[in-house]
Structure 1
């Protein structure tokens, strides 16, 4: 199959392309650096010619509420139109577990809006809602730090390795569209504060971590960043300890 990975030069895309190629697919990385821009539409029609599956792993370059909403809704609309024209049979996109339960976050609202655009685009789809990546822990710690103290939420947290996200996408490519959501989390659950504390300790970072139930997540109130224990979510294979090592 020809598979076009929108955002294929980014964190997940760079891990996904080799998996698809090794499986015998014609995998194409599409991003602004390759002349394809899903927001402006530049290069989309040419990139999607002959494509069977499109995988969207893009991330917004700016996290301002208006900017991120524009990025995700506009790119999803442009992709849907280009995919219909090209006869694409399956659209796969990465979203975030529980994004619809964190309305205080502009980024999460934008992901919900992106999902809605995908649902109404008229192309068979699968939305992979993943938990936060291990790779994002440094940024979470930095955002939460003031005067050498990282104040972290005690919300339930079950992060996953970006490598496992790529592996799950490679599997979904081989399957029919579910026209719904598939959840993915890491193999271990805890609290946001506990994971950040372990991450900082492993890196030799001496910042003090303070558990604060009211700390939120990037300024938004949050109860859980993990799927419910009985949700049937897929679990990644890479443990936090292995990733740290």
Structure 2
């Protein structure tokens, strides 16, 4: 099967490409580095010619509402137009657990708009909503620094290894379209402090960590279960302890 992975040179995309190729598929990594630009449209139609499926893991981590909304809506429309023209039979997009519950200007609203465009496209699709990645915990902590301490929400996380996200994406794109949402999460649920504390300690970061019930998530007010699945979810195999050990080695 010819599968185009938009964002195929990044953290998740590169792993998806490797998995699909290992299964014998013609997996095409499509990114700026390969002449594929979903904002200008350059190279997109050519890359999708003959494709049976598309995996969209493109990303831009910005929090200015207009900029991030423009990125995700423009990029998604470009991909969908090319996919429709190419006769793609399955469009898979990576999104975020809780995005449907956290309507707030910025990144999450832009991801929600992306989901809506895919669902309304007429192309058979599956939306994969993931919890936060282990690999991003350090960056999350950096964004929650206040003066000489880290101030974390009291909400729960259920983070997942990027490798497990890639496994789920590869499984979904090679299965029949769901026409809806699949949620994935790590095997363990706990507080921000439980996961971020050890990551910072392993980096030698001795700044004190304080949990604050009034702390938000990058400007978005959250409650204890805002960022975790509320119903059935596929769970990754990699525990936090195993992932941490792999980083240490």
TM-score by length of 1: 0.96
Aligned partners of 1:207, 1:84: CA distance in 2, in Å? 51
* Closer, same or farther: CA 146–131 of 1 in aligned 2, 3 Å: same
* Aligned residue pairs, count: 243
User: Whole-Å Cα distance in 2 between the matches of residues 143 and 56 of structure 1?
Assistant: 26
State how far apart, in whole Å, the 1-side matches of 2:116 and 2:77 are. Answer: 10
Contact kept? 1:151, 1:210, Cα under 8 Å: yes
Could you list the structure 1 runs, at least 4 aligned residues long, displaced by more than 3 angstroms after superposition. none
The equivalent residue for 2:125 is 125
Query: Partners in 1 of 2:190 and 2:102 — Cα distance?
Result: 19
> 1:120 and 1:19, CA in 2 relative to 1: closer, same or farther beyond 3 A?
same
Kindly report the root-mean-square deviation, in angstroms, between the aligned alpha carbons of the 2 structures.
1.1
Query: In the alignment, is the contact (CA less than 8 A) between 2:62 and 2:107 conserved in 1?
Result: no
For 1:149 and 1:32, how far apart are their aligned partners in 2? 37
Contiguous gaps of at least 5 residues in structure 2: none
Q: Distance in 2 between matches of 1:44 and 1:174?
A: 21
Aligned pairs for 1:67-216 within 5 A: 67-216=67-216
In structure 1, C-alpha distance between the alignment counterparts of 2:76 and 2:120, rounded to whole Å? 10
The alpha-carbon distance between structure 1 residues 102 and 193, as it changes in their structure 2 partners (threshold 3 A), is farther
Q: Structure 1 stretches of 5 or more lacking a match?
A: none
SS class of match (1:98): coil
Distance 2:46 2:9 in 1: 18
When normalised by structure 2's length, the TM-score is 0.95
Per-residue CA distance 1:98-150 (angstroms, 9 max, x = gap): 01222235100000000000011111000000001111111111111122210
Are 2:199 and 1:225 equivalent residues in the alignment? no
